[in-house]
């Protein structure tokens, strides 16, 4: 460590913290922390290690500083983010783009020099009178090809607590790697806080990603999606790293699906927020390996995957005992859980859609709450926020997959892309090839904006691979990287498109909430060659007789021909309109879209038009299945 860095840090740290930091021989690390201290001007600096004592200290300080409050169940706490900091904020989350560089027009960005001056100006002196916490974590399993060391400096013990629950500690990994460590850095400050320990200047909120130095800056915010640098903020940096090194960083869950004779098959899935991602990953009777971010590598012709994280920061709305029994169990028994932005009454948390009667008063993100309370604009404040969350370690779940920390990852057999499409795509279909799946299901993934992102809800939009907000390279290059990755594999994972939000002509959903378990079980059988499928213009769909058996086995439910036709009839006009929207998006917003994308979409359009000429605008799946006699 240089003398200048040592002198500055020694003035802010006690002997133990300084000893911990100097045990890591990495000059870039020391420079980053010294710069953070000089810029933010904390009163003291505490360096945390991987020890149980330090983990407990973070929990204790989050309560003492009143960033969290204890709840009635042992180990449960609640954190509030205030009225104006309830989700990822697209408008103030920007890439810092150096002179001469460029990103796709669809990505929010600002010139690097201008952006650095702005965000560092907001961070200047932001930690006066406070303690800076230095955390060492890793993305991916430790001591693995998947591992990415990360360091975060923050003035929030709530953020530090969230890191403990969501990621693997990495102090020993930094010590092991020393000067060889290539790491990501995050600098976060809550900024000014009110009496409830909530960031009080949301108009000065900024979340800037400097991809030229692998650094995230976050200020005047506490919402974990904006402050826990290893989450979606680091995903943007990881995508650039994966682009350089030839692997994939994806916004996907990983799950183990149990098949016949004790078989376990690993599947991944990409869903935008509030589109069924966590509920799919948490299906009862299956195992969860991850619910949010996955890394894929090609190893000897196989696709192997690992969870970047080791915990869940999940949307809690609609979690209930019937539909989400595993999560419900964790949220209602002693253990370490951090709730955010729910309603608290007599030490118990309440959220929207939990299936129990909600009290008429309590404390929530608005402060003291009562039924009928209104905000400054006259709108009624709900008891809990739509984007209220829970944070919990995966290992607290009874169905946590034992391969979570396997440094070699697991072999991936299938990938599903799921959006929020009311009109076109059937609930479940298999692609004709890797290329068709990446383009027709992944790059064409269409959804509606939800409460998980600040802004207007219900607006249809393309959200390619459910990762569009986080792509820090050109979108065309990202699609091309996915296409190229399949060519490295002897047998690429089978790609599926799923859609839990298809509606009938009267506006009713054609899927039941629990039907997703049947679709996942069908996928498991398909990737192992156990069942056949019906060919349609948009993909391969389940045969009726297989669904009759699966609905009976999985849900103890009868499944009729009418159910099948409601769910799996091909809507020609709606699918043609979807192709036009996708093509229009790529022509206008992605100047480097691969030619193969337009070719694949054109082939799908031709198949749809041929089907319309033969069958009309709505094609029953029964007429496409040669094995089915007329019913």
Domains of the chain and any CATH numbers: 3-67+88-245 (3.40.449.10), 249-310+404-624 (3.90.228.20), 313-396 (2.170.8.10)
Tokens at 178, concatenated? 């020393």
pLDDT tens by residue, 213-262: 999 999 999 999 889 988 888 999 999 999 999 999 999 999 999 999 99
| C-beta of residue 438 within 8 angstroms of C-beta of residue 483 | yes
Q: Which of 359, 332, 326 is nearest to 345 (CA)?
A: 359
Q: How far apart are CA 187 and CA 207, in angstroms?
A: 10
Q: How far is CA 349 from the centre of its chain?
A: 24
Two tokens at 16? 């133990």
Q: What is the reported pLDDT for 5? A: 84
Say how far apart CA 590 and CA 348 lie, in whole Å: 48
Q: What is the DSSP letter of 101?
A: -
Query: Rounded to 5 degrees, what are φ and ψ at 498?
Result: -125, 155
Query: How far apart are alpha carbons 136 and 149 in whole angstroms?
Result: 7
Beta carbons within 10 angstroms of residue 380's beta carbon: 9
- CA 453, 455, 458, 461 dihedral sign is negative
> How far is Cα of residue 548 from the mean position of the Cα atoms in its chain?
33
Residue 630 has pLDDT above 50, yes or no: no
| Candidate list 275, 303, 400, 428, residue with the active-site label | 275
Annotated active-site residue 400? The verdict is no
Residue owning tokens 């690992």: 306
Task: Say if residue 273's pLDDT is above 80.
Answer: no
DSSP output for 398-465: TTB-TTTT-TT-EE--EEEEEE--SSSS-SEEE-SSHHHIIIIIIIT-EEE--TTBSS-SS-EEE-GG
Rounded mean pLDDT of 391-411?
Answer: 97
Q: pLDDT tens digits for 320-352? A: 998 888 899 999 999 999 999 999 999 999 999
What is the rounded CA–CA span in Å between residue 306 and residue 316?
A: 24
Dihedral pair phi/psi, residue 233, rounded to 5°: -70, -50
Residue 141 in tokens: 């399993």
Alpha helices in 178-324 (DSSP H): 224-227, 232-245, 277-281
- Span 166-210, pLDDT tens digits: 999 999 999 999 999 999 999 999 999 999 999 999 999 999 999
Both structure tokens of 97: 């783009």
Alpha helices for 11-97 (secondary structure H): 15-22, 27-40, 52-64
CB contact set of 25 (below 8 Å; sequence gap of 6+): 178, 179
For residue 629, give the DSSP letter.
Answer: P
Contact criterion met (CB below 8 Å) for 351 and 340: no
With beta carbons less than 8 A apart as the criterion, state whether 352 and 386 touch. yes
The DSSP code for 257 is E
What pLDDT does 631 receive? 47
Q: Where is average pLDDT lowest: 104-108, 400-404, 437-441? A: 104-108
Q: In what order do the strands lie in the sheet with 348-350?
A: 348-350, 343-345, 361-364, 367-370
User: What does the pLDDT look like over 150-166, one tens digit per residue?
Assistant: 999 999 999 999 999 99
Alpha-carbon distance 181 to 192, whole Å?
34
Mean pLDDT lowest for which of 76-80, 233-237, 562-566? 233-237
Dist CA 480 CA 269 (whole Å): 19
Residue 455 has pLDDT above 80, yes or no: no
CB 396 within 8 A of CB 336: yes
Sequence-distant (6+) residues with CB within 8 A of 95 are 103, 107, 108, 109, 110, 208, 209, 211, 236, 472
Confidence of residue 88 (pLDDT cuts 50, 70, 90): confident
The crossing angle, in degrees rounded to 10, of helices 544-555 and 561-568 is 110
Among the ranges given (252-256, 275-279, 369-373, 570-574), the one the predictor scored with the smallest mean pLDDT: 275-279
Distance between CA atoms of residues 593 and 481, nearest Å: 11
Are residues 157 and 67 in contact, defined by beta-carbon separation less than 8 angstroms? yes
Q: Are 429 and 540 in contact (CB under 8 A)?
A: yes
Q: Examine the pLDDT at 457 and tell me if it is beyond 70.
A: no
CA distance 371 to 386: 16
H or E stretch covering 249: strand 248-250
Rounded to whole angstroms, what are the CA distances from 216 to 48, 121, 321, 469, 472?
Answer: 20, 15, 38, 15, 13
From CA 533, how far away is CA 627, in angstroms rounded? Answer: 10
pLDDT tens digits for range 513-553: 889 999 999 999 999 999 999 999 999 999 999 999 999 99
pLDDT at 493: 98
DSSP three-state, residue 395: helix
Q: Work out the number of other CB atoms within 10 angstroms of the CB of residue 56.
A: 11
Please provide the average confidence, as pLDDT, over all residues in the chain.
Answer: 94
Q: How far apart (Å, rounded) are the C-alpha atoms in residues 448 and 466?
A: 11
pLDDT tier, 12 (very low <50, low <70, confident <90, very high otherwise): very high
Percent of the chain clearing pLDDT 70 (strictly above): 97
Which letter does DSSP use for residue 259 in this model? -
What CA–CA distance (Å, rounded) separates 263 from 255?
A: 13
> Per the structure block, which two tokens stand in for 215?
């650094």
Give CA separation, 144 vs 317, 406, 429, 540, in Å.
35, 9, 34, 37
């Amino acid at each position: 460590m240089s003398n200048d860095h040592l002198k500055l840090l020694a003035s802010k740290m006690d002997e133990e913290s300084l000893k911990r930091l100097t045990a890591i021989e990495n000059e870039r690390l020391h420079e980053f922390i010294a710069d953070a201290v000089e810029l933010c001007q904390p009163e003291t600096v505490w360096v945390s290690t991987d020890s149980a004592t330090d983990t407990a200290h973070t929990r204790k300080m989050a309560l003492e500083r009143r960033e969290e409050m204890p709840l009635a169940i042992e180990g449960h706490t609640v954190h509030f983010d205030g009225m104006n900091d309830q989700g990822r904020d697209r408008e103030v989350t920007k890439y810092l783009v150096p002179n001469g560089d460029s990103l796709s027009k669809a990505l929010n960005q600002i010139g690097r020099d201008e952006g650095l001056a702005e965000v560092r100006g907001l961070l200047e002196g932001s930690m006066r009178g406070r303690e800076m916490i230095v955390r060492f974590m890793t993305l991916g399993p430790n001591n693995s090809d998947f591992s990415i060391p990360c360091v975060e400096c923050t003035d929030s013990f709530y953020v530090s607590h969230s890191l403990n629950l969501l990621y693997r500690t990495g102090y020993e990994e930094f010590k092991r790697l020393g000067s060889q460590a290539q790491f990501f850095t995050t600098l976060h400050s809550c900024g000014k806080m009110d009496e409830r320990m909530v960031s009080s200047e949301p108009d000065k909120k900024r979340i800037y990603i400097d991809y030229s130095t692998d650094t995230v800056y976050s200020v005047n915010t506490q919402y974990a999606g904006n402050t826990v640098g290893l989450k979606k903020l680091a995903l943007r940096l990881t995508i650039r790293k994966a682009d350089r090194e030839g692997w994939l960083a994806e916004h996907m869950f990983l799950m183990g699906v149990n098949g016949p004779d004790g078989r376990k098959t690993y599947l991944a899935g990409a869903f935008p927020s509030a589109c069924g991602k966590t509920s799919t990953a948490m299906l009862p009777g299956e195992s969860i390996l991850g619910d949010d971010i996955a890394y894929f590598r090609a190893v000897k012709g196989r696709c192997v995957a690992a969870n970047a994280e080791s915990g869940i920061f999940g949307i809690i709305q609609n979690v209930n005992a019937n539909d989400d029994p595993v999560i419900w169990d964790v949220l209602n028994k002693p253990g370490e859980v951090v709730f955010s932005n729910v309603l608290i009454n007599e030490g118990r948390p309440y959220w929207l859609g939990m299936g129990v009667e909600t009290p008429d008063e309590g404390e929530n993100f608005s402060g003291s709450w009562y039924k009928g309370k209104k905000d400054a604009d006259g709108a009624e404040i709900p008891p809990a926020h739509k984007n209220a969350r829970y944070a919990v370690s995966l290992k607290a779940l009874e169905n946590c997959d034992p391969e979570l920390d396997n440094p070699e990852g697991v072999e991936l057999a299938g990938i599903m892309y799921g959006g929020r499409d009311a009109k076109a795509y059937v609930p479940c279909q298999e692609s004709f090839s890797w290329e068709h799946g990446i383009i027709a299901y992944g790059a064409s993934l269409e959804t509606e904006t939800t409460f998980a992102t600040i802004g207007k809800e219900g607006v249809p939009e393309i959200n390619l691979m459910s990762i569009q907000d986080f792509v820090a390279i050109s979108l065309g290059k990202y699609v091309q990287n996915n296409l190229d990755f399949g060519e490295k594999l002897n047998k690429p994972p089978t790609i599926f498109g799923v859609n839990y939000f298809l509606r009938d002509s009267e506006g009713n959903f054609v899927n039941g909430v629990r039907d997703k378990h049947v679709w996942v079980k069908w996928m498991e059988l398909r990737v192992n060659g156990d069942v056949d499928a019906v060919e349609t213009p948009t993909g391969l769909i389940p045969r009726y007789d297989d669904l009759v058996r699966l609905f009976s086995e999985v849900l103890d439910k009868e499944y009729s021909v009418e159910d099948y036709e409601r769910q799996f009839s091909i809507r020609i006009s709606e699918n043609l309109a979807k192709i036009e929207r996708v093509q229009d998006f790529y022509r206008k917003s992605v100047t480097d879209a691969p030619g193969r994308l337009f070719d694949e979409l054109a082939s799908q359009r031709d198949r749809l038009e041929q089907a319309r000429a033969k069958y009309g605008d709505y094609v029953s799946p029964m007429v496409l299945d040669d094995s089915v006699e007329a019913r």
